[in-house]
Amino acid sequence: MNPSPQTVVVDGLGLAQEIRKELGETVAAHLAAGRRAPCLAVVLVGDDPASASYIKGKRRACKRIGMESVERTLPGTASQDDILAVVDELNRNDGVDGILVQLPLPEAVSPHAVAEAVLPAKDVDGLHPLNAGHLLHGQPCHVPCTPAGILEILRRFEIPLEGANAVVIGRSAIVGKPVSLLLQQQNATVTMCHSRTRDLAGLCREADILVAAVGVPRLVKGDWVKPGAAVIDVGVTSVAGELVGDVDTEGVQGHAKIVTPHRRGVGPMTITMLLGNTVTAYEDSLA
């Protein structure tokens, strides 16, 4: 890739490492004060290789900042009750601050039932309806990690949000909806787009901030991007064994002010926000 001088390709990994360093210092201060380390519990159901790889990354990230992590692995044949029993055990465990149940779950298991079973105080993925409700009301809560990471990227690049036109493509509960709420809380004017949106390209051309969380490879073309816009590519799709984003990263060169690449962009920031939410849950439990 040969980036245009006008477009900054965001080094999400570098940003993530800066924030992880700060989190590591926070953890070290707690340890120096004689307290235990914060602990993240991850529940993995089945043997999906992508999920196993995500969990490995999370475990490594915890270790690097001095946090503890524990894993509970269940077979793909596990029932909803089996999973809820594990969540219940982790809810009761005072040594566990955050619980993440890796998605996707087997088809017979309701992800809503599992999200509702996690104690809201330990819901570091921000998926419990109580946290989602607090987010809607603008109250303090655990914010879903990918949206939190996106806002942090925009903040660190000093992208003005007040009064800005933000277009979010995708309306999932884990990315599209929460990132729309967060942008609106920062006084952006948000348009939420989805698979039935008319004239998607035309709406995108009005966007000062464009977030693509779709899962359609290279959906967003260079000429959909307003000059000077901030473009956040959340999508990750495997195409012939290669991971591809929702944005034609090369095509937006020279149009966008910043663009996140589909690798080392939003992904490392997502894990970092998970670590941050776990440290917050830990500190809340001390208070």
Residues that bind ligand NAD (CB under 6 A): 146, 169-172, 174-176, 193-195, 197, 200, 213-216, 234-237, 266-267, 270
> Which CB, 69 or 270, lies closer to ligand NAD?
270
> Which CB, 58 or 122, lies closer to ligand NAD?
58
> Which CB, 96 or 147, lies closer to ligand NAD?
147
Q: In the numeric block, which tokens belong to residue 13?
A: 């990994």
> Which CB, 118 or 192, lies closer to ligand NAD?
192
Distance CA 262, CA 116 (A): 31
Least gap, CB of 28 to ligand NAD (angstroms): 27
Distance CA 201, CA 223 (A): 8
> Which CB, 224 or 282, lies closer to ligand NAD?
224
Least gap, CB of 107 to ligand NAD (angstroms): 15
Least gap, CB of 5 to ligand NAD (angstroms): 27
Start-to-end Cα distance in the chain: 48
Decide if 127 contacts 173 (C-beta within 8 A): yes
Least gap, CB of 196 to ligand NAD (angstroms): 7
3-class DSSP state for residue 64? helix
Least gap, CB of 103 to ligand NAD (angstroms): 9
Q: In the numeric block, which tokens belong to residue 146?
A: 């990918």
Decide if 13 contacts 268 (C-beta within 8 A): yes
Exposure string over 153-189, b if 16+ CB within 10 A, otherwise e: bbeeeebebeebbbbbbbbbebbbbbbbbbbbebebe
Active-site positions? 58, 102, 125
Q: In the numeric block, which tokens belong to residue 104?
A: 């996707």
Decide if 221 contacts 215 (C-beta within 8 A): no
CB within 8 Å of 206: residues ≥ 6 apart:
165, 167, 191, 226
Least gap, CB of 38 to ligand NAD (angstroms): 21
Residue 235: name the closest of 254, 211, 253 by CA.
211
Residue 100: name the closest of 42, 147, 61 by CA.
42
